[in-house]
């Protein structure tokens, strides 16, 4: 997955252009910048590649999620449905706005289960936020139907699945809003960065103002701009955006490498009885950033994961025990450990985590192993890795 593996000449050239002028900020300084607008350039490349009207690039994927929610008017006490298996950024972005994260089970797609989503809807629900974890997507048709039926927004977190598609459309472009991360370990990196995409002109206008203190971005005198509503600072710097300009041009090259490596590993593992693969919804194409498979029991999955590590097969994850990606270890959320007080809306709105039953999620995530697909592997390395994995899986 990580674009940093293939970091080089193109990235350096883009950054040099910014350094030549010294204009490190994405707004203003028109006279000094010698025509370089890297954040804007990246936005144009993204909106083209993702086939949407608007893209807005910001400081991180977490910021993009926060801004996406804010741009659609999500605020205090609104409920946002999110999966039990995701990165902590999901609930961070929701809580940042005083909204309430509602955790819901995942299924064999390792993403939101549409039935569980429908059961979690209340009069306070405003958004359904599927997270396309580890390169593959939620059942977006089913989720879209639920959202239409109940008048909810669909916000796709495609931070780990950039370049994947569903029924011919890029992931992120299908919901009302979609988000990407360009942090250092993502398929396309800016060092730090993120983006939201949408076809909705109003959300876009809100997003670009909100992420820059509410600046209306009219005219070319920043100091004279008005502030139609309260905002914040989630700007990306031109240096980071410049790296992204080079990386986004290489997205399809990266996907091609990932697909080839993924297919070699998958083909090898298919020969192992009792290994099954994650379900990809009909019409979905993964971005091949991870290969995900299930063992028959939790105990076998844990044992396999350990044996893989012991044999030097790195970059395989057992998310069930992971501190950051599964609800079981989110005690800072479930015990409400915060520096300051949470609002009453959030305190009252959070689920009772002593009572909620996520055994369906446990059933799937507890038996799953996720192998990161690297860009820098040689064909020999992939085939050796495949042999080792098959040997270990068969011996257990
Ligand atoms: C990385 C990631 C984010 C957050 O992105 P940052 O740029 O690190 O803030 C959000 N959601 C998912 C699923 C991610 O993997």
DSSP string, 230-278: ---B-PPPHHHHHHHHHHHTTHHHHHHHHHHHHHHHHHHHTTSTT-EEP
Average pLDDT of the segment spanning 135-146: 98
For residue 87 and ligand 1, the question of a CB distance below 6 A is answered with yes
Q: What is the CA 156 to chain-centroid distance, rounded?
A: 8
Cβ contact 126:79 at 8 Å: yes
For residue 157 and ligand 1, the question of a CB distance below 6 A is answered with yes
Please give the distance, rounded to the nearest whole angstrom, from the Cα atom of residue 222 to the centre of ligand 1.
Answer: 31
pLDDT of 375 above 90: yes
pLDDT of 27 above 90: yes
Tokens representing residue 287 in the block: 């971005």
Average pLDDT of the segment spanning 310-330: 96
Cβ contact 110:88 at 8 Å: no
pLDDT of 67 above 90: yes
Cβ contact 262:382 at 8 Å: no
Q: Report the distance separating Cα 175 and Cα 71, nearest Å.
A: 14
Average pLDDT of the segment spanning 66-78: 98
Sorting pLDDT into bands at 50, 70 and 90, what band is 220?
confident
Per-residue pLDDT tens digits for 173-191: 999 999 999 999 999 999 9
Burial 169-199 (b: 16+ CB within 10 A, else e): ebbbbbbbbbbbbbbeebbbbbbbbbbbbbe
- The closest-lying atom of ligand 1 relative to the alpha carbon of residue 86 is 13
Helix-helix angle 379-395:298-310, to 10 degrees: 130
Judge whether 9 counts as a catalytic residue.
Answer: no
- The closest-lying atom of ligand 1 relative to the alpha carbon of residue 194 is 7
pLDDT of 387 above 80: yes
Sorting pLDDT into bands at 50, 70 and 90, what band is 12?
very high
- C-alpha dihedral over 379, 375, 179, 189, to 10 degrees? -170
- The closest-lying atom of ligand 1 relative to the alpha carbon of residue 160 is 15
Which pLDDT does position 110 carry in this prediction? 98
Average pLDDT of the segment spanning 369-393: 97
Which pLDDT does position 162 carry in this prediction? 98
Tokens representing residue 17 in the block: 């252009």
Task: Name the average pLDDT for the chain.
Answer: 97
* Catalytic hit among 17, 148, 169, 186: 186
- pTM comes to 0.98
Please give the distance, rounded to the nearest whole angstrom, from the Cα atom of residue 220 to the centre of ligand 1.
Answer: 33
Please give the distance, rounded to the nearest whole angstrom, from the Cα atom of residue 183 to the centre of ligand 1.
Answer: 7
Per-residue pLDDT tens digits for 247-263: 999 999 999 999 999 99
Average pLDDT of the segment spanning 186-212: 98
- Ligand 1 site-directed mutation target among 3, 57, 62, most atoms within 8 Å of CB: 62
Q: How many CA atoms lie within 13 A of 19 on its CB side?
A: 8
Please give the distance, rounded to the nearest whole angstrom, from the Cα atom of residue 54 to the centre of ligand 1.
Answer: 20
Atom 6 of ligand 1: nearest residue by CA position: 61
For residue 131 and ligand 1, the question of a CB distance below 6 A is answered with yes
Please give the distance, rounded to the nearest whole angstrom, from the Cα atom of residue 303 to the centre of ligand 1.
Answer: 28
pLDDT of 106 above 90: yes
Q: Which of helix, strand or coil describes residue 143?
A: helix
Sorting pLDDT into bands at 50, 70 and 90, what band is 2?
confident
Count of all residues that appear for the chain in the document:
396
pLDDT of 1 above 90: no
Please give the distance, rounded to the nearest whole angstrom, from the Cα atom of residue 186 to the centre of ligand 1.
Answer: 8
Q: What percent of the chain has pLDDT over 70?
A: 100
- Ligand 1 site-directed mutation target among 159, 186, 330, 370, most atoms within 8 Å of CB: 159
For residue 108 and ligand 1, the question of a CB distance below 6 A is answered with no
Q: Report the distance separating Cα 131 and Cα 128, nearest Å.
A: 10
Tokens representing residue 157 in the block: 């977190």
For residue 107 and ligand 1, the question of a CB distance below 6 A is answered with no
For residue 156 and ligand 1, the question of a CB distance below 6 A is answered with no
Which pLDDT does position 198 carry in this prediction? 98
Q: How many CB atoms lie within 10 A of CB 158?
A: 27
Q: Which regions of the chain does DSSP assign to beta strands (E)?
A: 54-58, 79-83, 100-104, 125-128, 153-157, 165-166, 169-170, 177-181, 194-198, 276-277, 284-285, 290-294, 316-317, 368-372
Domains in the chain with CATH codes: 3-250 (3.40.640.10), 252-395 (3.90.1150.10)
Sorting pLDDT into bands at 50, 70 and 90, what band is 371?
very high
Q: Report the distance separating Cα 177 and Cα 111, nearest Å.
A: 17
Q: Report the distance separating Cα 129 and Cα 324, nearest Å.
A: 18
Average pLDDT of the segment spanning 331-360: 96
For residue 240 and ligand 1, the question of a CB distance below 6 A is answered with no
Longest dimension (CA), the chain: 70
- The closest-lying atom of ligand 1 relative to the alpha carbon of residue 60 is 7
Cβ contact 351:385 at 8 Å: no
């Amino acid at each position: 997955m990580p674009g940093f593996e293939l970091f080089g000449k193109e990235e350096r050239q883009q950054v040099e252009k910014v350094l030549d002028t010294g204009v490190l900020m994405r707004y203003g300084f028109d006279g000094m910048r010698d025509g370089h607008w890297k954040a804007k350039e990246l936005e144009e490349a993204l909106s083209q590649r993702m086939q949407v009207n608007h893209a807005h690039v910001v400081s991180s994927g977490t910021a993009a999620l926060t801004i996406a929610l804010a741009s659609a008017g999500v605020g205090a006490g609104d409920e946002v449905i999110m999966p039990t298996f995701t990165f902590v950024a999901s609930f961070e972005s929701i809580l940042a706005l005083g909204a309430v994260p509602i955790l819901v089970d995942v299924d064999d797609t390792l993403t939101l289960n549409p039935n569980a989503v429908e059961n979690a809807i209340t009069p306070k629900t405003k958004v359904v936020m599927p997270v396309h974890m580890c390169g593959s997507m939620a059942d977006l048709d089913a989720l879209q139907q639920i959202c239409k039926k109940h008048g909810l927004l669909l916000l796709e977190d495609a931070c780990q699945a950039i370049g994947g598609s569903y029924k011919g459309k890029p992931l992120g472009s299908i919901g009302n809003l979609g988000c990407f991360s360009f942090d250092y370990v993502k398929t396309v990196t800016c060092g730090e960065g993120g983006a939201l995409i949408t076809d909705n002109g109003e959300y876009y206008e809100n997003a670009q103002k909100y992420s820059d203190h509410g600046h209306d971005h009219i005219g070319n005198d920043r100091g004279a701009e008005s502030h139609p509503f309260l905002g914040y600072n989630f700007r990306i710097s031109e240096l980071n955006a410049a790296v992204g300009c080079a990386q986004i041009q290489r997205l399809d090259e990266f996907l091609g490498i990932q697909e080839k490596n993924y297919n070699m590993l998958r083909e090898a593992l298919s020969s192992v009885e009792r290994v099954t693969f994650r379900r990809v919804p009909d019409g979905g194409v993964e971005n091949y950033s991870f290969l995900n498979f299930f063992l028959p029991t939790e105990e076998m999955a844990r044992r396999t994961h350990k044996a893989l590590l012991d044999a030097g097969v790195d970059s395989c994850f057992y998310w069930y025990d992971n501190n950051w990606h599964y609800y079981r270890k989110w005690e800072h959320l479930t015990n409400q450990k915060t520096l300051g007080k949470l609002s009453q809306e959030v305190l009252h709105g959070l689920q009772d985590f002593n009572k909620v039953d996520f055994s369906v999620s446990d059933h799937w995530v507890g038996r799953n192993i996720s192998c990161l697909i690297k860009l820098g592997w040689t064909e020999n390395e992939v085939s050796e890795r495949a042999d080792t994995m098959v040997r270990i899986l068969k011996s257990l």
